[in-house]
Copies of this chain bind each other. A is one copy, B any other.
Amino acid sequence: MPEPLDPDMFTGCPPVASPIRIGDKWTAKIVRSLESGPRRFTELQTVLRGITPKVLTESLRAMERDGLLTRTAYDEIPPRVVYELTDLGRSLLEPMNAGCEWARKHLSELIDARKSWHAAT
């Protein structure tokens, strides 16, 4: 099990920062959160600030259905459920990194364009 996730790893990443999206609103962030190893439900809930259990469950179920991750439930008290990327899910990191590289290179241009457009109105 890898080191704890930084609870602030997504602060300062508003939607405008990722013009390239993977699937729905949360899929990409979940993939990132699982990049360094399997994680528990609560860990994901913590790092994905503000996500409700319902939405997190929905997102995880959809990704499980698409073969992007696996769900492993241990029959213990208290219960423990662990999510882990499949090879398919991990392969998403490649196009995601391409998107991140684009953002690093060009996001400031996009922000500037938006600013100067705002100024012209």
Q: Show the binding face of A for B, using Cβ within 8 Å.
A: 19-23, 27, 64-68, 88, 91-92, 94-95, 98-99, 101-102, 105-106, 109-110, 112-114, 117
Contact = CB atoms under 8 A, between A and B. Distances in A.
Contacts of A88: 106, 109-110, 113
Contacts of A20: 20-23, 95, 99
Contacts of A98: 94-95, 98-99
Given A20-B23, A20-B95, 17 more contacts: A19-B66, A20-B20, A20-B22, A21-B22, A64-B117, A65-B113, A66-B114, A67-B109, A67-B113, A67-B117, A88-B106, A88-B110, A91-B102, A91-B105, A95-B101, A98-B98, A99-B99
